[in-house]
Amino acid sequence: MFTGIIEAVGHIQSMQPRGGDVRLYVKTGKLSLDDVKLGDSIAVNGVCLTAVELPGDGFWADVSQETIRRTALSRLKEGSKVNLEQALTPSTRLGGHLVSGHVDGVGKVLSMNEDARSWHFRIEAPANLARYIAEKGSITVDGTSLTVNSVDGAVFDLNIVPHTMQETVMGGYQVGSPVNLEVDLIARYLERLLLGDKAAEPGSASSALSMSFLAENGYLKP
């Protein structure tokens, strides 16, 4: 588990194909690895990866085909900057929100404009994630915990303060940049819970709640 509060910006030092998968070497910059052990989790642009080697100034991690298909890590190259966060400990301040490091989909930056000292971003999420994104709710963009300003269909707005622009990879975004998105954990599990016994039926994982389903199962007053 993570908080979505970025601790450092590192970069991809090496990407090595390994039998269909990829092994990444991430140089961690100012992120201290003093208490990191083999097998520990580190979020890279919001993707929870496992440290399999610790050469001292970074870590190696294996990236599976599932992760390559479901995230924007496949768009990275040697030299690409990445957001980094170590996993939560019992004494960690929960400054953002609970983040699993399991990316739900890849969004796209539609626009970015200066707004006083901040930046106003519009990002388009995959259509199947739109139902989980709510005004003033939380969303994780490349591992950064952010508050949604407004939502219009699958497009949501963010205001990014100068500190976040300087201390994360968001300062390097351009129109069209792909971004890893993780929706709020509560929204995902609430939808699944409301399905009740239907959650065990084949195909339920891809079905969205509808007004008729809610009415039929007593969630709406007649």
* Model confidence pLDDT, tens digit, residues 59-70: 999 999 999 999
Task: Please tell me what DSSP assigns to residue 199.
Answer: G
**Mean pLDDT of the 167-191 span:** 93
Pairing, β 150-152 against β 155-160? antiparallel
For residues 189-204, average pLDDT: 77
- Residue 179's pLDDT band, with cuts at 50, 70 and 90, is very high
Question: So what's the pLDDT on residue 89?
Answer: 83
pLDDT at 95: 83
Taking the model in full, what pTM does it have?
Answer: 0.88
Q: For position 221, what pLDDT does the model report?
A: 59
CA–CA separation, 78 and 41 (whole Å): 21
- CB 95 within 8 Å of CB 147: no
Quote the tokens at residue 106: 């890849």
What's the pLDDT at 84?
98
As a whole number, mean pLDDT of residues 44-72 equals 96
Q: What is the mean pLDDT of residues 14-32?
A: 94
Average pLDDT, the chain: 91
Q: pLDDT for 72-115, tens place per residue? A: 998 999 999 999 999 988 877 778 888 999 999 999 999 999 99
Q: What pLDDT shows up at residue 222?
A: 56
Question: Could you read off the pLDDT of 129-155 as tens digits, one per residue?
Answer: 999 999 999 999 999 999 999 999 999
**Secondary structure element (H or E) that encloses residue 115, with its range:** strand 105-115
Q: In this prediction, what percent of the chain has a pLDDT beyond 90? A: 75
- 10 Å CB burial of residue 193 (0-12, 13-18, 19+) is exposed
Separation between Cα atoms, residue 102 and residue 110, nearest integer Å: 23
The Cα 11–Cα 67 span in angstroms is: 18
